[in-house]
Amino acid sequence: MPFLVQATADDHTLAVTTETATEAFAKAIEWQVVERFTNISINDGTKSYTVAEFSSVMALKQIANTVEPAAELGPKAKVK
pLDDT at 47: 98
Has residue 60 been placed in a domain?
yes
Let me know if 24 is exposed, middle or buried by CB neighbors in 10 A (0-12, 13-18, 19+): buried
Please write the tens of the pLDDT for every residue from 21-36.
999 999 999 999 999 9
Instruction: Decide: 69 and 32 in contact? Cβ < 8 Å.
Output: no
Has residue 56 been placed in a domain?
yes
Has residue 79 been placed in a domain?
no
Q: Three-state SS across 17-79?
A: EECCHHHHHHHHHHHHHCCCCEEEEEECCCCEECHHHHHHHHHHHHHHHHHHHHHHCCCCCCC
Low-confidence ranges of the chain (pLDDT < 70): 74-80
Query: Residue 24 belongs to what domain range?
Result: 3-72
What's the CA gap between 51 and 70, in Å, rounded? 29
pLDDT at 16: 98
Has residue 77 been placed in a domain?
no
